[in-house]
Structure 1
């Protein structure tokens, strides 16, 4: 089983959107028995809350389920549990590496989402909690999730 964790600040906008989009992609490709998807936040403000209403409205428009997604905080054990830990911005990556300590130093399993989209100008996924632009985030997430699945397929050809 390949395990993917998306991480943002509060785990109500960007990372649950990525979780839902990637989970939908995995389902449509019939890979649910081979790829597990989750999301978490570096902060604890929204623990156990559903995704932000803007994220839910956008996912509803695209027919993508967010059932069962609830905000949680990144845990030390996540480093051992997940194969890919995908951070939505530089601050999230820094905070995740701080949680994981020295074992995360230089570890390729922790990387920024926008590394999947190197041709884009921004190095961070903008936070729609502050910008209000959920559509922009969705476009980045949809394209990046396709590329992440391609990366996983290349890295694990016998599993996926």
Structure 2
């Protein structure tokens, strides 16, 4: 089996709502682009509060509504070794980014907030549906941001 050239990790607080939603949206986009052997995607949380759990039922429901398979997910926490594993570590909000920068340092070419890829987005962060209850809003924002990220990754792959 070929090893992926690009490794992406999405990160939120608990790794049950936003980051798994981004992971599974991106997996679907990668599959549609026939890049499954080129791009690997994963997710994690900064807190570890939900380690070993499945994604939130609201996350699973909205993904399934968009015909995205949700099987195979288990929540995990960011590890120091992730820095060496992933080419991009993508935060969902300012707090996640700050926590990641405290762990890894500031490296905006590798570690950034996903909404920075969509300057015309209606939000400067991905709202946490754990608090807002609006999983559809989170889905639509992440769908747009994942399109932008995939475009960036494709450009990087063209350069290699």
Q: Please give the range of the TM-score, normalised by the shorter of the 2 chains.
A: over 0.9
Q: Which residue of 1 aligns with 2:135?
A: 134
Pairs within 5 Å for 1:21-36 = 21-36=25-40
Structure 2 residue 19 is matched with structure 1 residue 15: yes
After superposition, the Cα gap between the structure-2 partners of 1:32 and 1:64, relative to the gap in structure 1 and judged at 3 Å, is same
Aligned length: 156
- CA shift digits 1:74-106 (9 cap, x unpaired): 000111110011100000001011122xxx323
Q: Which residue of 2 aligns with 1:81?
A: 85
RMSD over equivalenced CA pairs, Å? 1.1
Q: Which residue of 2 aligns with 1:153?
A: 154
Q: Name the CA distance, whole Å, in 1 between partners of 2:52 and 2:28.
A: 21
Q: Name the CA distance, whole Å, in 1 between partners of 2:107 and 2:67.
A: 37
TM normalised by structure 2 equals: 0.94
How far is the alpha carbon of 1:158 from its aligned partner?
5.2
Q: Name the CA distance, whole Å, in 2 between partners of 1:106 and 1:29.
A: 28
Structure 2, unaligned stretches of length 5 or more? Answer: none
Compare 59-68 and 17-26 and name the one that shifted more: 59-68
Q: Which residue of 2 aligns with 1:58?
A: 62
